[in-house]
Structure 1
């Protein structure tokens, strides 16, 4: 684990320098950074900061059944409506190729994020939130985290795919994603959306 300390930083109106510690977490692939800032030797926490509500950790082998059940449960209706068949073997193959993360709140698994790097783009393969935890900022948190990671990796865009009738597309639009390219007819009614980093 590497720890880098930056000192002497100031925000406008601060009388004393701020010390920030950035920690590159070894278990998170390619440069995920956690920043803790201390003003006047006391931690300044923002109660509206979603990072205080949610914890995102790398997935472990035992998380796969949770991730598959959550994804199938959330996406099964879309697959059926668009004439697609859910295949657990394909989900597992995709899982093995992705960087996978589990979202927790108060120690409970409530969601997951799956990403892959594709050229100069970070592909968000899955953002899944459990029923009962939607509409509380979890999806926004995962998208913002993905954006920070893409920036830290020096990538130029984020991309994702969404069924045309999935209400999550409204969140993606609010977060700066735009429809790019034609619908992929061979996969059903799916739109590709991109956002610059």
Structure 2
């Protein structure tokens, strides 16, 4: 069965927060950053959030924002039980389709330097365009 996504509902924030904390806490600890539920919740309210599912099973979510320069993937979280099944690749493909449809110049995201998801992003054509102490900024330009 193929993947799909649907707009997140109010009740989905708990699923998304717990999934993000579970997936990202090891990176936060390694990089001496503080996880804050409140910060997640505040960001959730101002972004477009989509639940990735297969049938009735929620596998993860993507959180998006936009400006004139790009569509930004702010979060792409897949439950560990579903890693390696193509959901992340599918979601990035969907986001690239949105970039083209909305005629935005680029798709952008930020990833921890030591997160293996970087390999997926590179496979999908994103390249490193900047970095700081623990993050890489990645981008894929879309031809006009």
Structure 1: gaps (5+ residues):
1-51
- SS of 2:42's equivalent? helix
The equivalent residue for 2:135 is: 190
Look at both structures and tell me which one has the larger radius of gyration over its CA atoms.
1
Q: TM-score, normalised on structure 1?
A: 0.70
Structure 2: gaps (5+ residues):
none
Which structure features the higher share of helix residues?
Answer: 2
CA RMSD for the aligned pairs? Answer: 0.9
Q: CA deviation at 1:71?
A: 0.4
Q: Deviations over 1:12-46 (max 9, x none)?
A: xxxxxxxxxxxxxxxxxxxxxxxxxxxxxxxxxxx
Question: What stretches of structure 1 move > 3 A for 4+ residues in a row?
Answer: none
Whole-angstrom CA distance in 1 between matches of 2:62 and 2:54 = 14
Q: CA deviation at 1:53?
A: 1.2
Q: TM-score, normalised on structure 2?
A: 0.96
Aligned length in residues: 142
- SS of 1:72's equivalent? helix
- Greater relative CO (CA pairs within 8 A, separation 6+): 2
Whole-angstrom CA distance in 2 between matches of 1:106 and 1:152 = 26
- SS of 2:80's equivalent? coil
The equivalent residue for 2:118 is: 169
Q: Deviations over 1:85-126 (max 9, x none)?
A: 001111111111110000111211111000000222001001
